[in-house]
Amino acid sequence: AQSVTQLGSHVSVSEGALVLLRCNYSSSVPPYLFWYVQYPNQGLQLLLKYTTGATLVKGINGFEAEFKKSETSFHLTKPSAHMSDAAEYFCAVSVPGTGRRALTFGSGTRLQVQP
Amino acid sequence: NAGVTQTPKFQVLKTGQSMTLQCAQDMNHEYMSWYRQDPGMGLRLIHYSVGAGITDQGEVPNGYNVSRSTTEDFPLRLLSAAPSQTSVYFCASSYAGTNEQFFGPGTRLTVL
């Protein structure tokens, strides 16, 4: 069965600093990987996804993530944090060929941006 | 398109009461899912459906029932509410392929 681990339930950075949110997955076959963002009292919005092809994926709001099969990782980065990036971020995995038409989510990382 | 809609936005129940959370999508997606979100636990899958008349259990199905009579609607029923079901509930839909989920705005449920 697939699983997702997000290291760090809370991450705090200064405005303008690098954002790095960590995600490791477990899957017996190459998975599809997702990052979602949730702003306070809102639903989840897709930031970016990896399915096949280029392992460096660019998403909305300047975020990107790199699929590293050898490290089973899909870390999310942004070169320069903005105050508006403060939110909770979820990594998720889908394993093709299982018939399960839903995602498995990590426990989330809350990003705080200090002025 | 409205996307995925959920009603109600907020609900307070007493232990033992029953209720139905409504979910509808207008994107003609085959697949629909219900998740619950609890602090520190991410989103956990309750039930999902791969088409009208076909449903299956997720990781935390106990205490919840679902049915899917149409492509558009996927209601979640709480038969006898318990305080452990206090949570935020999200409905999502997806199409064949990567299982990218399109989420509704959520229902915040409190069971006293």
Q: Which residues of chain A have pLDDT under 70?
A: none
Q: What is the mean pLDDT of chain B?
A: 94
pLDDT (0 to 100) of residue A27: 86
B30 vs B97: CA distance, rounded Å: 11
Residues of B in contact with A105 (CB under 8 A): 35, 42-44
pLDDT (0 to 100) of residue A96: 78
Interchain CB contact of B81 with A (< 8 Å): no
Kindly tell me the burial class for residue B39, based on how many C-beta atoms sit within 10 Å of its own C-beta (0-12, 13-18, 19 or more).
exposed
pLDDT (0 to 100) of residue A101: 77
For residue A7, the number of C-alpha atoms closer than 13 Å in the C-beta half-sphere is 10
pLDDT (0 to 100) of residue B99: 83
pLDDT over 80 at B59, yes or no: yes
Closest C-alpha to B55, from B37, B34, B36:
B34
Question: pLDDT tens across B61-70, in order?
Answer: 999 999 999 9
Whole-angstrom CA distances from B109 to B13, B36, B80 are 8, 10, 13
pLDDT (0 to 100) of residue A104: 92
Residue A97 or residue B4, greater confidence: B4
Residues of B in contact with A34 (CB under 8 A): 100-101
pLDDT (0 to 100) of residue A1: 76
Name the amino acid, one letter, at A103.
L
Kindly tell me the burial class for residue A40, based on how many C-beta atoms sit within 10 Å of its own C-beta (0-12, 13-18, 19 or more).
exposed
Q: Is A84 helix (H, G, I), strand (E, B) or coil?
A: helix
pLDDT (0 to 100) of residue A41: 85
End-to-end CA distance of chain A: 41
Looking at residue A42, what DSSP letter applies?
S
pLDDT (0 to 100) of residue A2: 82
Looking at residue B73, what DSSP letter applies?
B
A97 vs B97: CA distance, rounded Å: 10
**Nearest residue of B to residue A7 by CA position?**
B40
Q: Which of A42, A46, A108 sits opposite B100 (nearest CB)?
A: A46
**Nearest residue of A to residue B98 by CA position?**
A32
Q: B68 with B53: CB under 8 angstroms?
A: yes
Question: pLDDT tens across B25-49, in order?
Answer: 999 999 999 999 998 889 999 999 9
pLDDT over 90 at B105, yes or no: yes
Q: CB count, 10 Å around CB of A14?
A: 10
Quick one: tokens of B60? Answer: 């935390």
pLDDT (0 to 100) of residue B17: 97
pLDDT (0 to 100) of residue B37: 96
Cβ–Cβ gap B105/A107 under 8 Å: no
Cis peptide upstream of residue A79 (ω within 30 degrees of 0): no
Question: Which residues of A make CB contacts under 8 Å with B?
Answer: 4, 6, 9, 32, 34, 36, 42-46, 49, 51, 90, 92, 94, 96, 99-108
Determine which helix (DSSP H) or strand (DSSP E) holds A66, and give its type and residue range.
Answer: strand A64-68
Q: Is B85 helix (H, G, I), strand (E, B) or coil?
A: helix
**Nearest residue of B to residue A43 by CA position?**
B105
